[in-house]
Amino acid sequence: MQIIETNQAPAAIGPYSQAIQVGPFLYTSGQIPLTVDGELVTGGVEQQAAQVFKNLDAVLQAAGVSRNQVVKATIFMTDLGAFATVNEQFAAFFGSHKPARSTVQVAALPRGAEVEIELVAYCGN
């Protein structure tokens, strides 16, 4: 088991790691739209989703993993009415790669975020 940490993504806001690699799998913690300095991105769900994907990309890079190795994404949103907007950001991030995905509406997210995303990647051959 290897803990993955990077200063290119916001530090964990609780007692957890940014990601853990176990065998051939990488599990990221959920990322919310915080800047590296820990400030919540404002301006709406589009800007928040873009920041979340920026954070996830930094964590993946720290682990030496590409976006194309992501096998599962879980998206938590406070308003599924914004699903299409987050879906556009998802498609832009992954391009032609299409990992499995679940999207869940939740009552609230930490720091008042509108979106949180976690990933699972396969790091084997």
Q: Quick: pLDDT tens for 58-110.
A: 999 999 999 999 999 999 999 999 999 999 999 999 999 999 999 999 999 99
Superfamily (CATH) of domain 2-122 = RutC-like (3.30.1330.40)
Q: Quick: pLDDT tens for 48-68.
A: 999 999 999 999 999 999 999
Distance, in Å, from the CA atom of 18 to the CA atom of 31, rounded to the nearest integer, reads 8
Beta bridge partners of 70: 121
> What's this model's pTM, rounded to 2 decimal places?
0.97
Distance, in Å, from the CA atom of 68 to the CA atom of 86, rounded to the nearest integer, reads 19
For 98, half-sphere exposure in the C-beta direction (CA atoms, 13 angstrom radius) is 3
